[in-house]
């Protein structure tokens, strides 16, 4: 995935978040469903942001950004701030 594809995926997931919140507010889904799906989206968003950072770092240091790979969500979620 190149940078443009990653950014497009991020935008799509942000829109999915908005639709989920709207669906909850209108009573189309329950809070459990919203919470579960939001958790999935948030984990995938974290992975996309991590991949984007990795690609940018590789570019900055003269490496091939295409060598950056998506990390497992368990690893990305475990990063310390």
Q: What is the pLDDT of residues 15-59, one digit of tens each?
A: 999 999 999 999 999 999 999 999 999 999 999 999 999 999 999
Give how many domains the chain has, as a whole number: 1
pLDDT of residue 8: 97
Structure tokens at 76: 């990305």
What is the residue range of 37's domain? 3-77
Total-model pTM: 0.85
pLDDT of residue 78: 77
> If you write DSSP's letter for every residue of 9-39 in order, what string do you get?
HHHHHHHHHHHHHHHHHTTSS-HHHHHHHHH
The string over 31-60, giving b where at least 16 C-beta atoms fall within 10 Å of a residue's C-beta and e elsewhere, is eeebeebeeebeebbebbebbbebbeeeee
Q: Quick one: 62 exposed, middle or buried, by C-beta within 10 A (0-12, 13-18, 19+)? A: exposed
* Segment holding 41, helix H or strand E: helix 31-60
């Amino acid at each position: 995935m190149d940078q443009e594809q990653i950014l497009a995926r991020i935008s799509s997931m942000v829109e999915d978040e908005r639709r989920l919140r709207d669906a909850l507010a209108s009573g189309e889904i329950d809070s459990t469903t919203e919470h579960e799906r939001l958790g999935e989206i948030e984990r995938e968003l974290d992975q996309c942001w991590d991949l984007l950072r990795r690609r940018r770092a590789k570019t900055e240091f003269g490496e091939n950004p295409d060598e950056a790979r998506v990390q497992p969500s368990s690893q990305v979620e475990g990063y310390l701030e």
